[in-house]
Amino acid sequence: MSAPPASRVSLDPVPEAEWPMAAGTGSRPAPRRRLGPALVLTFAVVITGVWAGTAVRAAGHGLDLTDEGFYLLSYRWWNADHRTFTGAQYLYGPVFALLGHDIAGLRMFRLGTVLLAHLLFGVAFLRWLRPRRPSAPPTRLWEAAGAATVVASGGAVYGWLPQSPGYNDVVLFGLLLGMAVVFTLARHAERGSAGPAWLPLAFGMLVVPVLLAKWAAALPMAVVAAAGVVAVAARGRRAVLRALAWALAGAAGAAAVVHLFVVPLTTAVPPMIAVNRTLAESSFAVPALLARYARYTLPTVETVAREYGLLLAAAALAALVRRPAIQAAAGVLGAAGLIGAVAHAVRDGGLGGGAVNVLRFVVPLLAAAVAAVLVAIAGRLDTARDRLLLGVLAALPLSYAFGTSNIPLKVSVMAFAAWMAVLVAVVTGLDRRAVAARAITAAVAAGTLLVTACAATGGLWRHPYRNVPNARATAVAPGVPALAGLRLDPGQARAYGDLRARLAPYLVPPGRRVLGFDKMAGVVLLLDGRTLGEGWYAPENPSRTRAGIAAECADGPPWTPDRAPVLVFNRPVRAADMDLLTPCGLDLARDYRPLAPPARTANLTVLVPG
């Protein structure tokens, strides 16, 4: 039998019993072989500590009145207002209630889920990868270092979006935990076992919250499920059918729990269908989404090729050809490419973080993913089945972003942990002759963790989403229970307190209908109000707002005659607004008056009944 090609490594997983550290000899790995993993572990833990510590520090600062306000308003009235495009409120709403509607507490809960989901995914992935890397140091530090690296990359979640959790978090956690199940099932299959039934059962249970939060997530979840079928198929058709049956049982059980103990699906699903049908006919129409994706994605890809092309070419060349001369040349090119990459990241704002810099720090993270894929292909790493699972990981962030009206690459970086896992597999899979390729990809992995930490700290503290830097958020809004404990910009805090005080006669008891135009859900929240129709009043889609209001009043106004809604506009009232409440039997010109000049109501136009 001929030996395998030198450029191909780890064709067959090594059984755990044959790992060097499992041989039962009692020998301990040499200190030098433990040093590398220990350094990587330390570096990853420090990176995680930086962004997680910043998340803890920022939890009690700032509030975005738009997107974050919409999330929090829907969680505040999760079991009362059901007209929404996402069911995330049925997942986070009960948690928010248990926390006493404490916004800082909900942000801390999010941090815990971010760390836990990435840790479970990282551990499952490294346990699957370990037998494929027989030349790795024979110490558990190796697995710990890899898992810690994956966890550290989770800081990308905090790069630019609001601090409070949203539907994107639910989908991300579902996909990461789903892949953790897939890798665990694959490991069991390779050891001759079908695996415990709770694994596919858990996968099925994950499907329900993911689809409840975002229906378009059916695509990436289907891809993950297909990867699970491939993983189990090593045990034969019967094992596949068994796993599918348990997964279906898990999905049915989770749906039953939601229906019986959270919200009847007959109550939650029909309004979501109505709203999503409206979206599919307008701003979320597939042709419009694809055109938007192309318009914003192609320039970013061109930037990656222009600014990081030399580095990517050097990495692919170093993985493809093992001759010493070529390795030396690739190393020189790689060093030049790395210097250029650092220069671009620093000069172009790639280390800034926040929404203002998001398309700048997306570029180095995307370049890292491309480098990992190129090296994996050029180096011909692992078996066909393993390459398929790694391919699913590489595609996961892009499929995760599908269905959003935002720029896909902005959303995809939240799932950067999947790309980091591919990088870990590539770095550890190259043979010793690929010196330059190993050095380049290791440097890329370390550099992207630094970018992740900078982007997360920037997005959390220096450039928080649609808000002032948190260093300026030092005051509490007086007399605003919904914002208790949050420190805001002093001017904002004073304005919110004054607005709440002026409207106090209209706000007792809490729960009065308050309509916030446009994207003013946070104002409704701080006034202890409930929305009418959807909480998200989109200025670019007024027909969607009108449809929501009309649906709520289809059977008559949902309020008593003395509790007509309060209207809040962040702009002057327009002629087109005059018939907004006609389906509810109200006329803006006849039934409303200004509360006070906008200068005395936080620069908002506030109309009250009377």
pLDDT by residue (tens digit) across 143-199? 999 999 999 999 999 999 999 999 999 999 999 999 999 999 999 999 888 889 999
Closest listed residue to residue 169, CA positions, set 105, 101, 106: 106
Separate counts of helices (H) and strands (E) for the chain: 21, 4
* pLDDT attached to residue 3: 39
Cα 159 to its chain centre, rounded Å, is 10
Angle between helices 31-58 and 103-129 (to 10 degrees): 160
Which residue, among 35, 13, 42, 28, has the nearest Cα to 138 in the 3D structure? 28
605-609 β-sheet, strand order: 514-517, 566-569, 605-609, 592-594
Distance CA 308, CA 410 (A): 18
Dist. CA 233–CA 228, nearest whole Å: 8
Q: Using CA atoms, how far apart are residues 60 and 338, in angstroms rounded to an integer?
A: 38
Instruction: Please write the tens of the pLDDT for every residue from 563-609.
Output: 999 999 999 999 989 989 999 999 999 999 999 999 999 999 999 99
Q: Is the peptide bond before 102 cis (omega within 30 degrees of 0)?
A: no
Q: 4 pLDDT exceeds 70? A: no
Q: Crossing angle for the helix pair 140-153 and 435-457, nearest 10 degrees?
A: 50
Confidence of residue 226 (pLDDT cuts 50, 70, 90): very high
Pairwise CA distance, residues 503 & 39, whole Å = 58
Taking the domains of the chain in order of start, what are their residue ranges? 174-265, 489-609
State the CB neighbour count (10 A cutoff) for residue 48.
24
Residue 187: phi and psi, rounded to 5, are -65, -40
Reading the block at residue 145, the tokens are 């270092």
How does pLDDT run across 274-316, given as a tens digit for each residue?
998 888 777 667 777 778 778 888 888 999 999 999 999 999 9
The dihedrals phi and psi of 23, each to the nearest 5 degrees, come to -75, -10
Start-end of H helices in 413-478:
416-429, 435-457
485-531, pLDDT tens digit by residue? 899 999 999 999 999 999 999 999 999 999 999 999 999 999 999 99
Q: Compute the distance between CA of residue 209 and CA of residue 541 in angstroms, rounded to an integer.
A: 27
Of all residues in the chain, the percent with pLDDT exceeding 70 is 94
Residue 150: both structure tokens together: 């994956």
Query: Considering only CA atoms, which of 348, 356, 353 is closest in space to residue 453?
Result: 353
353: closest CA among 2, 54, 18?
54
| Tally of CA atoms within 13 A in the half-sphere of 193 that contains its CB | 10
Q: Which secondary-structure segment (H or E) carries 563?
A: none
> What residue has token string 């920037």?
458
Reported as a single tens digit per residue, the pLDDT across 193-215 is: 888 999 999 999 999 999 999 98
Q: Determine the Cα–Cα distance for residues 423 and 318; give it in Å rounded to an integer.
A: 15
**What pairing do the DSSP bridges indicate for beta strands 605-609 and 592-594?**
antiparallel
Greatest Cα pair distance, the chain, in angstroms, is 92
